Amino acid sequence: MKYVGRVPKKTLDETPMVRVPYPPFDVLVARVGLRYYAIEDGCNHAGASLCEGFRVDDRVVCPLHAYVFELKTGKLLQPEELCDDQRTFVCEEQGNDVVVWDPGLLTIKGA
Ligand code: FES
């Protein structure tokens, strides 16, 4: 996996969503419950930054056309099937930080 970046847990406790630079689309990192999740920040509909949208519980609402994505899975929840799900990244807790990894575009079934 490729290293993306590192965010202090304290920052994620105080901020609903944090953008980590990772060109070209960057990565959105958020705490949901007691765990940390990361999805692509650039909305796959038309490219808006989801970090500039707003958060409702475990969801993010895109600032441009108000599509709704689940933060844990990147899944598009509303409206259905008008764009793809957001790509997901791997979050690993290391001490006081959350380290974000890019698993690549290939997924292994059953992994
Ligand atoms: S750019 Fe995100 S919903 Fe259109």
Q: What is the b/e burial string over 77-108, where b = at least 16 CB atoms within 10 angstroms of the residue's CB?
A: eeeeeeeeebbbbebeeeeebbbbebeeeeee
Q: Using a 6 Å cutoff on CB, does residue 61 contact ligand 1?
A: no
pTM listed for this prediction: 0.92
Query: Cα 60 from chain centroid?
Result: 9
Instruction: Output the six-digit token pair for 8.
Output: 């202090």
Decide whether any atom of ligand 1 lies within 6 Å of the 43 Cβ. yes
Task: From the CA of 53, give the closest atom in ligand 1.
Answer: 2
* Domain extents in the chain: 2-102
pLDDT digits (tens, 9 = 90+) for 5-28: 999 999 999 999 999 999 999 999
Neighbour-count burial of 12, counting CB atoms closer than 10 A to its CB (0-12 exposed, 13-18 middle, 19+ buried): buried
CA 64 to ligand 1 centroid distance, Å: 5
**109 pLDDT above the threshold of 80:** no
Superfamily of domain covering 2-102: Rieske [2Fe-2S] iron-sulphur domain (2.102.10.10)
